[in-house]
A and B are shown apart, each in its own frame.
Chain A
Amino acid sequence: MKRILSLTAALLVTLCIVGCKTVTAPLPAWAPNAQVAIAGQAIDSAYSTITGYEKDQADCAAQPTLTKCPGVSNPAIHAAVQKMQQAYAIAQPEFKQWQAAIQANPNAVEPANLSAAVSTIQTVLSQWSTLAK
């Protein structure tokens, strides 16, 4: 059961990664161009992963015998989520500013901090697929 959940989680994360890397028309309503969509989808994937992990932590604190708890306490997964959370904390506010700026100026350049943080998120997400197996 743990394996099926882990694999399913890995599948969903991979779907998000595929989406991140291959954004084409139609773009989401909030994305004025593909570059914004790629960054936004990485941020959205990171948010889902972090909040999902936090929920798992809370669940396992309340009921340690749950089948998912060994995976939740895995140090490698914990470290990966922490790294993703740090990148998300940088990326999300930067994304918000860039999205507003690009509405006024379609040529507004993606902030370097955002680009680096999105890259970190994508890297951790790709590692996550392996860690979750």
Chain B
Amino acid sequence: MTVFSFLFYLFAALAVVSALGMVMNLRNTVAAALSLVVTMISLAAIYVLMEAHLVAAIQIMVYAGAIVVLFLFVVMLLNLRQDTFAPGRQWLVKSAGALAGLLVGAQLVRLLSSPLPELPVLPEGFGGYRMLGISLYTDYVLLVEMASLLLLAAIVGALILAKRKID
């Protein structure tokens, strides 16, 4: 088992365990947010293993460093306490989990038994900021502009929603 495979399985296990920790956490909302951060950082590590360096850096900078901080901010602001499942919902959770586990297991068995083709050799500078930058600003410049419009709409929307009274 090479170093790469070992690192990948380590970070994959970490991601799954912390994702489960986030979803199954009933007592502490802040701990759930921190588990989400661990998931995102381990996913960023997997991106680095797959030679997607800029995406990994942006994942940590934007996702783990800003979005989840926003979640934490709101949790602290609203002082959210613990959570319970609605009465009578326990069986729903357990059966949903079991069914999902069965389906995913079946899909995984089917997936792992028919291997995808060999990983090709990467061109020079794959996943680096130069190739991504050139591609973003020449082929996909319209996408960048649309993303900026979307972010503007989100800023205005969040401002209006969180304002107290508009007199």
Q: Do A and B come from one complex?
A: no
